[in-house]
Amino acid sequence: MRIMSLITAVVVVAVLYLIVFERDAVRQVAGGASPTILWDASKDTPLVNDVVVEDETAETETPAEAPSERQLIKVVAMKSTAREIDSAVVLRGQTEAARSVVLRSETSGQVINQPLRKGHVVAAGETLCELDPGTREANLADTIARLKEAEARVPETQARQDEAKARLEEAKINFNAADKLAQGGFASETRVASTQAAVRSAEAAVESAKAGFDATSSRIQSAEAAVAAAQKEIDRLTIKATFGGLLESDTAEIGSLLQPGSACATVIQLDPIKIVGFVPETERDRITVGARAGARLLDGTEVSGNVTFLSRSADKLTRTFRVELEIPNPDMTIADGQTADILIASEGKAAHLIPQSSLTLNDSGALGVRTIIADNSTKFVEISLLRDTPNGVWVSGLDPEVSIIVVGQEYVIDGIVVDPTYRELGQ
């Protein structure tokens, strides 16, 4: 431990000596000179009473090295010209069934058919669960009989109404005749009053017959409603698939009792299938309904389709907007819930294709590249990534023509004059 302390002390003294007494030589070494200059400088320095004395005339007698004579930092750069490319919005999302429904019972009863197992392909209208009818068919027959009974009374009530109307006409004729005879002195007032009473009685009979006819019509309508209700109750005994798809669960087991609201089966539709993603509000305006889009699943499967929906309401927590793609899936190889990388086409823009290795960060953490301007000095420019390809990355934010440092960009800062060597992208 003592030997290490002595060695450390010697190293510290040597470094302090070089910084304090040989700073000019240190500057020359930092500028590219040979390190042997440090040894030569230490030999030329006189000692007075074992203390190093600097030559005060050395700095004034030796002219400083001109900036033009200094060795410039060598870098490798490439010249790039902007090109118009199709831009794309990149999202991460997942697949989702186009439709998914849980079929539930609307009435109560025991299941009397054999169940279908999950994974079974069902067609629209196919029976999934059938319930025991019980006394429902007898109730239907009873309501049909009541309907026929009510309909049978229609001719009778219609005949009574016609008879009452005929008697009313006869009473009106007798009243008119008696009234004219009374005006000529050939009939008494008693006869006129009698015929007038007969008219009023006939009118009452007409109203009564009409009321009887209306009551019969009401009974017919009530019987028809009862028949429809009984028929509907029987129709509810059969639970059918509302659309073609796959059974996501087994149908209800035979003998199980279903109550109103009990689940019979779950059916999902996978053709076509949806791919759902969430786009940030800064990218929402770049997406339009109907735009071409593609997706890559984790297993490498690539699919394409169109944007069918773009939400106008942002999620309250993530401040993102839901976007949906519709993808054909005739063989149903794509399942519900798979992770997918989504690319949605948008308007083209000018971009540069540069090596990914040329990207760097500035002191603020911004992503960009270091470029060479007119006087061979360097300048950092922030960029935006558009697309990644095997040949490089497409970026925007640069001038139409620019020289980009591809090797050595990490060793320079803004304003440093460099000695560039240019090459092509593929080199």
**Residue 139 domain flag:** yes
Name the domain count of the chain. Answer: 4
Judge whether 35 lies within some domain: yes
Q: In this structure, is residue 206 part of a structural domain?
A: yes
Same structural domain, 332 and 365: no
32: left (phi over 0), alpha (psi -120 to 50) or beta: left
The verdict on residue 275 lying in a domain is yes
Shared-domain flag, residues 297 and 225: no
Same-domain check for residues 152 and 206: yes
Show which of 15, 40, 68 is a domain's final residue: 68
Match 């490439």 to its residue by tokens.
78
Show the CA angle centred on residue 326, arms to residues 320 and 328, nearest 5°.
Answer: 150
State whether 156 and 203 are in the same domain.
yes
139 and 213 together in one domain: yes
The domain of 415 spans 75-85+349-422
Query: Is 201 part of any domain?
Result: yes
pLDDT < 70 stretches in the chain: 1-2, 18-70, 187, 425-427
406 and 373 belong to one structural domain: yes
Same domain, 291 and 324: yes
The structure tokens listed for 414 are 């803004």
Considering the domain architecture, whether residues 26 and 79 belong to the same structural domain is answered as no
CA angle 45, 47, 53 (to 5 degrees): 60
> Which CATH number belongs to the domain containing residue 155 in this structure?
1.20.120
pLDDT at 56: 42
Last-in-domain residue among 330, 345, 360: 345
Out of 27, 43, 68, pick the residue that ends a domain.
68
Answer yes or no: do 356 and 405 share one domain: yes
With contact defined as beta carbons under 8 Å apart, do 26 and 34 qualify?
no
Q: Is residue 284 part of a domain?
A: yes
Helices (H), 48-129: 58-61
Same domain, 338 and 353: no
- Same domain for 378 and 333, yes or no, is no
Per-residue confidence (pLDDT) for residue 249, from 0 to 100: 92
Shared domain check, 370 and 339: no
What's 279's domain CATH number?
2.40.30.170
Residue 255 lies in a domain: no
Give pLDDT, residue 264.
Answer: 95
Tell me the two tokens of residue 110: 């025991």
The domain that holds 387 is classified in CATH as 2.40.420.20
User: 């302090």: which residue's tokens?
Assistant: 16
Whether residue 100 is contained in a domain is answered as no
- Contact, 414 vs 379, CB < 8 A? yes
The pLDDT score that the predictor gives to residue 192 is 75
Instruction: Look up residue 182 and give its two tokens.
Output: 């009374």
